[in-house]
Structure 1
């Protein structure tokens, strides 16, 4: 089954218009407190108010200098912590979760993700896991209070470098909750450049099948590798993936077909780009055999 298209707002240039378009189509919207120099959530709020049933995921971890100053003034970060631009400190996670709700205009957040938690303690897995568990405890309390429906982790390299595994995240969540937990999603880069999750999944290994087996939502970020990938894929390769698709559509369909992926995040600012991507994911999913052939072609010298 092909994954659903979702709006990612990291590189989105016209957030209000893009959000209104995505919300009208019922697509999931993903954002973070530091996107658009700290304004993304405020810019999203009108579209979310107009479409209250649309799901939104946001993050806590990275923050802008202005937010860091506010956090220091609120007493949830020290000056040194604020200077780092990233924190999993429990008081900060609690404070940022409330700030996210206020900026998005939502009483309850559908999904809150720890943003690149591997940044907190690089190279020190025990310290990192302690910090993640403590942050999960805060998010479990937020879930109990009705402020958060679920939580998870948005990572760039943490899963590939095995700073943590999906199994370890599930165990940390169970410890934080004392049993039943609200860990609901992971977000990681999946593309025809960053193919490791795809090739692993085709062999039943790695984070994607582990997450799918646990019933987690899997949000694939950077499917076009920051917009660079379509220029690296010629029409011949696009036709190998699915005849008649553009290179961009072929790249999106490949990610949307990857076993375990539930959402493909795309920063489509304009209506034509959104329609092009929506048309791509409307195609039947590629088979595992087709994905093996494609990744094999790309991996060959």
Structure 2
């Protein structure tokens, strides 16, 4: 398959252990956020990133862990109200948090994702919020504080609050034709099948992002570990004969047109090996993808 396996640290109980396991088994990307690991994930990744300089890393900005909230208020980049809400995308906070993430990680993050920009936001506010955030991220790119940026969302695309065309327009307005918007991240799984259904019809967010040259990171491919328990033997055989339920589910995500990276959260070497084996197989055909969509719906 053309999709690559990356480590997502959201559900990893031991971020350092998970990252070491993944990189030893061939991972070249780890995804994290300031609020992961009770606010400690970025710092816990630092020794791994130092030991493996070729390992690439993405982090996020938006959700505020309590420790960062207190520091942000003290530094004057966060209001007490924003800190209590736990989410902020103002330019001052983005600039402060991206610099903090770089210090904690020990290196420049390759990508910083805006984390759920739809959070606590009305439709009429989203374009202005994104433009000001993109402008701050472009400025960070110009200072080499970050390599590039993207948008990580749980429901932004499915709710139609976000679309690829608008993201590109806002990025161009903030950074010109050489803007640094490089990626999107969204849930793709047997539970979140709509992006796959649209993609096999040649439309939708996956196709539009790929056509624009944006890397697509598929998050929650096993829906928090729930999917292997609900995939029947018959469904697994339909998707990928001989595969385990988890492998079948991952094969579908990795075969979705436009998906570039599949983020798996695990600390288990055996789970990682099984996932790598699934992504090492030929991609599923559009006919198989369509059959799964027909069986499960969207």
Query: Scaled by the length of structure 1, what TM-score is found?
Result: 0.96
Of 123, 140, 144, the residue aligned with 1:125 is: 123
Which digits, 9 at most, give the CA deviation of each residue in 1:33-73, with x for residues without a partner?
00011000111111111111111010000011221111000
Q: Distance in 1 between matches of 2:22 and 2:128?
A: 37
| Cα shift at 1:26 | 3.6
Q: Distance in 1 between matches of 2:57 and 2:205?
A: 22
| Cα shift at 1:153 | 0.3
Please tell me whether the aligned partners of residues 21 and 268 of structure 2 are also in contact (alpha carbons under 8 angstroms). Answer: no
Match of 2:110 in 1: 110
Which digits, 9 at most, give the CA deviation of each residue in 1:165-206, with x for residues without a partner?
011001000000133200000000000111010001111111
Match of 1:22 in 2: 22
Of 266, 282, 285, the residue aligned with 1:284 is: 282
**Equivalences for 1:1-301 in 2 at 5 Å?**
1-24=1-24, 25-106=26-107, 108-121=108-121, 124-299=122-297
| Cα shift at 1:238 | 0.7
Is the deviation greater in 11-20 or in 223-232? 11-20
Which digits, 9 at most, give the CA deviation of each residue in 1:182-241, with x for residues without a partner?
000000000011101000111111110000000101000010011101111011211111
Q: Distance in 1 between matches of 2:221 and 2:162?
A: 22
- The gaps in structure 2 that reach 5 residues or longer are none
Q: Which ranges of 4 or more aligned residues in structure 1 deviate by more than 6 Å? A: none
| Aligned-partner SS, 1:69 | helix
Please tell me whether the aligned partners of residues 125 and 164 of structure 1 are also in contact (alpha carbons under 8 angstroms). Answer: no
Q: Distance in 1 between matches of 2:23 and 2:214?
A: 22
Q: Distance in 2 between matches of 1:254 and 1:178?
A: 36
| Cα shift at 1:10 | 0.3
Please tell me whether the aligned partners of residues 188 and 220 of structure 2 are also in contact (alpha carbons under 8 angstroms). Answer: yes
Q: Distance in 1 between matches of 2:171 and 2:266?
A: 33
- Between Structure 1 and Structure 2, how many residues are aligned? 297
Query: Scaled by the length of structure 2, what TM-score is found?
Result: 0.97
Please tell me whether the aligned partners of residues 120 and 128 of structure 1 are also in contact (alpha carbons under 8 angstroms). Answer: no
| Cα shift at 1:120 | 4.1
Q: Root-mean-square deviation (CA), in Å?
A: 1.1
Q: Distance in 1 between matches of 2:183 and 2:2?
A: 18
Please tell me whether the aligned partners of residues 56 and 110 of structure 1 are also in contact (alpha carbons under 8 angstroms). Answer: yes
Q: Distance in 1 between matches of 2:84 and 2:44?
A: 26
Q: Distance in 2 between matches of 1:96 and 1:173?
A: 20
Please tell me whether the aligned partners of residues 111 and 148 of structure 2 are also in contact (alpha carbons under 8 angstroms). Answer: yes
